[in-house]
Chain A
């Protein structure tokens, strides 16, 4: 691939829209061409700045109410008697008040517990790099890593190898988080290490949550009875790709 071809595909590459063959050719070119590499990392920096910039607007709550009122007004068959509506709104306000109080109270507890856990996770990640002790079982073979956890913890963590997709497995490690021993799987992207902490969870499936702490990006989700925490200094876009691949 030449610089000119690279130039025309650069946005598609940054957006993860290239097929794997062209992606590989693109990366091979970048290995040899520092100017294209700089160009890509500039675009990636721009993307992360936008993504981390809290630029998503949330609909104001009264807009939702106005829209519903407009829908009912525009379609009279959905309208009901005024009396019924009044009683219903009094009841709804009461229910809402109780629900809000309860939610705020429980959420605060959950929030503070979670933020302790987030700090623990970031510390664990940093410690694993500082002590040069990323893996207890250094192996890129998921069939070596998975059995290694047997007997050390009472569950079997998924050990997916993502070498083909550019996130080679480095190994596995036993760690201690949330008052229990947990499995840590280590992946690598270029020079960045990625720690994936996995343990069983009794809460239901949860969509992805993205956090940034001390310059580290964290992605958290719960799937099929397991809770996952992905942490790295890798940019959020590539870390999200990693999360997506792990979920597949």
Chain B
């Protein structure tokens, strides 16, 4: 796929080398970028806009190298692009849930094993989309993208403890959601 990206324009042109280097470093993470944008925006068109805008920003900040942290770097830009886009849309910052008392009681709901085994893709997707943006962000980066707490903390710009608490709350809510949907 990569050669498509570089196009056939000829690499002798000034600026072309920078774009080639940018593509080599960033494109392997293009799907990860779209996946995050898609889960945050919850629809394809907005996700595409966010990724396009994020890539333009990324190329603007591009210093020729992002080392081994290209994925985290790009995902952080995607995330920030999404939140600033949301702010422009609504004219106010997205509500944050951190620090709010959890409405989930101590102990954990224990859905029947069969609840999870029968949960199909649509149900899981609906459950994830029902989470608040920050829980969805932390949880999808962990479970779908497979990132460590440390990487998520870097991307989201919050302490590791906050990442852990978001993931924990996301799991509790998902369990409650899945239980209510399968019992009902």
Contact = CB atoms under 8 A, between A and B. Distances in A.
Interface of A: 7, 10-12, 15, 17, 38-39, 42-43, 45-47, 49-51, 53-61, 63-68, 70-72, 74-75, 77-80, 84-85, 87-89, 91-92, 96
Contacts of B120: 53
B59 A74 contact: yes
Contacts, number: 148
* Interface secondary structure of B, over-half rule: helix
A155 B31 CA distance: 38
B8 A17 contact: no
B168 interface: yes
A103 to B, nearest CB: 11
B164 to A, nearest CB: 6
Contacts of B144: 50-51, 55-56
Given A55-B144, A78-B13, A89-B8, A38 B110 contact: yes
Interface in B115-143: 116-117, 119-121, 124-125, 128, 140, 142-143
The 7 A-B pairs of least Cβ separation, nearest first, read A88-B8, A77-B15, A59-B34, A78-B15, A80-B9, A57-B38, A11-B168
A38 B168 CA distance: 16
A74 B19 contact: no
A15 B35 CA distance: 20
Interface stretch (B48-56, B83-91, B94-102): B48-56
A243 to B, nearest CB: 12
B52 A64 contact: no
A65 B7 CA distance: 9
B43 to A, nearest CB: 11
B184 interface: no
Contacts of A79: 9, 13
Contacts of A42: 108, 110-111, 116, 175
